[in-house]
């Protein structure tokens, strides 16, 4: 069974704080992703990583950074949290489906972040 865990289910932080969201997967997957999900806007890609120490910007990277020092762990960092970063944050890995050649995404449980 694929397992993706996120460090917190709920988090409350103050404006200006540095926030770390951690994601850990136990399936040796190379590709990992961070999304945020907001009502009416759907899932938006913040950053993704296809290997250790490799990262690529997604659609909305501003105000965020990431770190991938080990294959199983992908961290999202809010350098200085702002109220417009209040959202549901979802980590995902990319994994092959049965049959081999197609891949899909498997999501962690999510972290609901409130910035006051």
Contact positions toward another protein, by CB under 8 A?
33, 40-43, 45, 50, 90, 94, 97, 102-110, 112
Q: How far is the CB of 101 from another protein (least distance, A)?
A: 9
Q: Kindly state the DSSP code that residue 97 receives in the 8-state scheme.
A: P
Q: What is the chain's length?
A: 116
Q: How far is the CB of 42 from another protein (least distance, A)?
A: 4
Q: Which is nearer to another protein, 20 or 50 (CB)?
A: 50
Q: How far is the CB of 80 from another protein (least distance, A)?
A: 26
Q: Which is nearer to another protein, 41 or 52 (CB)?
A: 41
Q: Which is nearer to another protein, 68 or 108 (CB)?
A: 108
Q: Which is nearer to another protein, 13 or 112 (CB)?
A: 112
Q: By C-alpha distance, which of 27, 11, 14 is closest to 106?
A: 27
CB 61 within 8 Å of CB 33: no
Q: Going along the chain, which residue ranges are E strands?
A: 4-6, 10-13, 19-25, 32-38, 42-51, 54-57, 64-70, 73-78, 87-96, 103-107, 111-115
Q: How far is the CB of 104 from another protein (least distance, A)?
A: 6
């Amino acid at each position: 069974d694929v397992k993706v865990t996120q460090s917190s289910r709920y988090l409350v932080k103050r404006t200006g704080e540095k926030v770390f969201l951690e994601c850990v997967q136990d399936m040796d997957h190379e590709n990992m992703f961070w999304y945020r999900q907001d009502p009416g806007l759907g899932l938006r890609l913040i950053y993704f990583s296809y290997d250790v120490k490799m990262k690529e910007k997604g659609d909305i990277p501003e105000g965020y950074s990431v770190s991938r020092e080990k294959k199983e762990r992908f961290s999202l960092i809010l350098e200085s949290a702002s109220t417009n970063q209040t959202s549901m944050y979802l980590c995902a890995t990319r994994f092959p489906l049965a049959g081999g050649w197609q891949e899909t995404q498997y999501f962690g449980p999510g972290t609901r972040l409130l910035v006051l």
